[in-house]
Amino acid sequence: MAEQIQKDLWRLEIPLVGNPLKTLNSYLLVGARSLLIDTGFRQEPCREAMERQLCEIGVDRDRMDIFLTHLHSDHTGLAPELIRPGCRIYIGRIDGTRLTAPDQDARWRHLSADYVRDGFSEEEMERLWDTNPAKVAAPPPWDGYTFLEDGDTLVYGEHHLRCILTPGHTPGHLCLYEEKARRLFSGDHVLFHITPNICRWDGVADSLGDYLQSLDRVKGLEVAELLPAHRSETGDLRRRAEELAAHHARRIENAWETIRRQPGMTAYEIAGHMAWSIRCRSWEDFPLTQKFFAVGEALAHLDYLEVRGRVTRREKYGKWAYDALTGDSNT
């Protein structure tokens, strides 16, 4: 059931079946022209929940635009099928360019080959090919997106929503800041109870460093109401940004100590020695999709360390292996 936050603002709960995130918070600003923020996977449970709640609210679908905080398929999957003629789907230019890049299969093949070099087996990546929701529940090819830049403003009735570029979780993640209401739609940039996944991105030297800078960028905003994309928990923006930065500082040291104790491991092996908040007895018990995200996050931390001269990477039997260089802390 949709939850009315204020007269013209609703939160729609979209189930993410089989995903540890459990649900997506999709937000809807209703007016003469409405704005839907994020959509859910291109899967039937998401589709049914979205259609039912939009019907409950009674929004005019012919005057409803869509804003996508970032390119991940749990946020973008349904957008092209929800949009009506004359309406727009907004996404940041950086993520939008990646989302609309030609030959997505080639991009996934390249990513799979990279992950094999980082320690996955060929068999594991083959199993992920048709099961990873990041790939199979993404939106179909669509060329009608309207790209936004950092600082652009969307106006819906009395709501003036400023785009704030917050790279890290994805290269072009955007938050929406409503200064007058002191409200921030934070997407996956700032979450509570769980931490946003920060992984390596092709063409990005240091996604974790980008994320930490993005936390610094938003934590000084005047925000009385923080609306994240997952879970019901919310709270103080500055405090949570500082908690997230501290979490990654600990994980950076966890990764470095792991390499120092046992040099020459792949990112896959390093991830297996790191501490994760997941109910599994061992790395071998991790669901394969969760291993994919854990290794991606380990890689982001390894990139952070490599950029700062604390680890080095070398080829070992066709895989990338890591060695520690220094114990000096530069976090």
Q: Taking the complete model, does pTM exceed 0.85, yes or no?
A: yes
pLDDT at site 331: 42
pLDDT at site 82: 98
Domain boundaries defined on the chain: 3-107+139-243
Give me 198's structure tokens: 């920060």
Please state, in angstroms and rounded to a whole number, the distance separating the CA atoms of residues 207 and 197.
11
Parallel, antiparallel, or unpaired: how do β-strands 183-187 and 174-178 relate?
Answer: antiparallel
Residue that is written with structure tokens 């080959």 in the block: 113
pLDDT at site 316: 93
Per-residue pLDDT of the chain (331 residues; tens, 9 = 90+): 899 999 999 999 999 998 889 999 999 999 999 999 999 999 999 999 999 999 999 999 999 999 999 999 999 999 999 999 999 999 999 999 999 999 888 999 999 999 999 999 999 999 988 888 889 999 999 999 999 999 999 999 999 999 999 999 999 999 999 999 999 999 999 999 899 999 999 999 999 999 999 999 999 999 999 999 999 999 999 999 999 999 999 999 999 999 999 999 999 999 999 988 777 878 888 889 899 999 999 999 999 999 999 999 999 999 999 999 975 544 4
pLDDT at site 1: 85
Helix (H) or strand (E) holding 321: strand 319-324
Q: Cα dist. 129→100, 106, 303 in Å?
A: 20, 12, 25
Q: DSSP string spanning 114-177?
A: HHHHTT--HHHHHHHHTT-HHHHTSPPP---PEEE-TT-EEEETTEEEEEEE--SSSTT-EEEE
Taking the mean position of all CA atoms in its chain, how far away is CA 315?
30
pLDDT at site 132: 87
The C-alpha angle with vertex 217 and arms to 213 and 223, in degrees rounded to 5, equals 140
Please state, in angstroms and rounded to a whole number, the distance separating the CA atoms of residues 307 and 74.
31
pLDDT at site 328: 53
pLDDT at site 277: 76
Given 3.60.15.10, 2.40.40.20, 3.30.950.10, 3.10.450.50, which CATH number is that of 3-107+139-243?
3.60.15.10
The C-alpha angle with vertex 222 and arms to 91 and 163, in degrees rounded to 5, equals 15
Residue type at 277?
S
- In the three-class reduction of DSSP (H, G, I as helix; E, B as strand; rest coil), residue 262 is classed as coil
